[in-house]
Amino acid sequence: MKVAIVTGGGSGIGKAIARRLGEDGFLVALFGRRKEVLEAAAAEIDRAGDGILPVPVDIGDRSAVQAAFERVVQRWGRLDLLVNNAGMNAPSIPLEEVSQDQWGQVVAANLSGAFFCTQQAFKHFKSQTPQGGRIINNGSISATTPRPQSAPYAATKHAITGLTKAAALDGRPFNIAVGQIDIGNAGTDMTARMATGVLQADGSIGIEPTIDVSHIANAVSYMASLPLEANTLTMTVMATQMPFVGRG
């Protein structure tokens, strides 16, 4: 059996990915801040509980991340896949009004957390037999193109692209494959406001389409199914009609 960790696994995209990986035969650990949310998701995905492990952890805390990874490896013996999915946004406000705390929270969740988890995954991938493993980062379409009033989120997601490429390079000698999925308008609680209208680049408010999270889960399933000699470095999965390609 292969073992996966999904951060932000208690809800939304993370839960959909965890469910699909479980269907694919993975043993799955769910990382997230809220114990009750993780436990509810685990019960929903696998009522028997044998193939899923809820692990409450603040991924912005490096020591907590180390302990969480060790708990997974002690339980199941190895690690094959890390999905760096957890993330958050700051309020949609003018850039100069973003507080230090708001900036720090987004950086901790979106970038530092992904980096700390990547460090621990590399540690275990390198030391286990057979050596190697895969990391899939949730970059978001904001990894290439920002929305208005989203500087903290866009900055961290652009940085995820750099982390993906650097980790892919550093992982080569150790049979570690690192790729990124950039997601546009997956239908979750975070994107519910798109049904009533969100700020556009021209200053207008526009309703945007969303897509079911199952499409994201299916894409991650494909990326995870590849042998380690093959890697999807980047993939974009988006609502066809969303204002992304072109000039808005």
Is 173 a member of any domain? yes
Taking only the tens place, the pLDDT of each residue in 111-136 is: 999 999 999 999 999 999 999 999 99
d(CA 5, CA 133): 12
Q: Report the pLDDT value the prediction gives residue 247, as an integer from 0 to 100.
A: 60
In a domain, 225, yes or no: yes
Burial of 23 (0-12, 13-18, 19+ CB in 10 A): exposed
- Domain span holding position 93: 3-238
For residue 77, CA distances in Å to 23, 95, 174 come to 20, 45, 19
Residue 41 lies in a domain: yes
Asked if the structure places residue 247 within a domain, the reply is no
Cα(21)–Cα(7) distance, rounded to whole angstroms? 13
9 assigned to some structural domain = yes
Which region, left, alpha or beta, applies to residue 132 given φ > 0 means left and ψ of -120 to 50 means alpha? left
Residue numbers annotated as active site: 153
CATH code assigned at 228: 3.40.50.720
Contact 25, 50 (CB under 8 A): no
Is 246 within the bounds of a domain? no
Tell me the average pLDDT across 224-233. Answer: 98
Tokens 């436990």, residue located:
39
Say how many domains are in the chain: 1
pTM: predicted TM-score of the whole model, two decimal places: 0.94
Answer yes or no: are the C-beta atoms of 1 and 27 closer than 8 Å. Answer: yes
Per-residue pLDDT tens for 44-84?
998 777 899 999 999 999 999 999 999 999 999 999 999 99
Pairwise pLDDT comparison (66 vs 244), residue with the higher score: 66
Rounded alpha-carbon distances, angstroms, from residue 200 to 92, 146, 236, 240, 248: 12, 10, 20, 17, 8
Peptide bond into 130 cis (omega under 30): yes
Mean pLDDT of 80-97: 95
d(CA 39, CA 66): 21
Is the residue at 243 inside a domain?
Answer: no
The residue-averaged pLDDT of 220-230 equals 98
Q: What is the pLDDT of residue 229?
A: 98
The residue type found at 91 is P
Task: List pLDDT tens digits, range 153-180.
Answer: 999 999 999 999 999 999 999 999 999 9
Q: What one-letter code names the amino acid at 6? A: V
- Look at residue 248 and tell me if it is in a domain: no
Residue 131: closest CA among 163, 177, 91, 164? 177
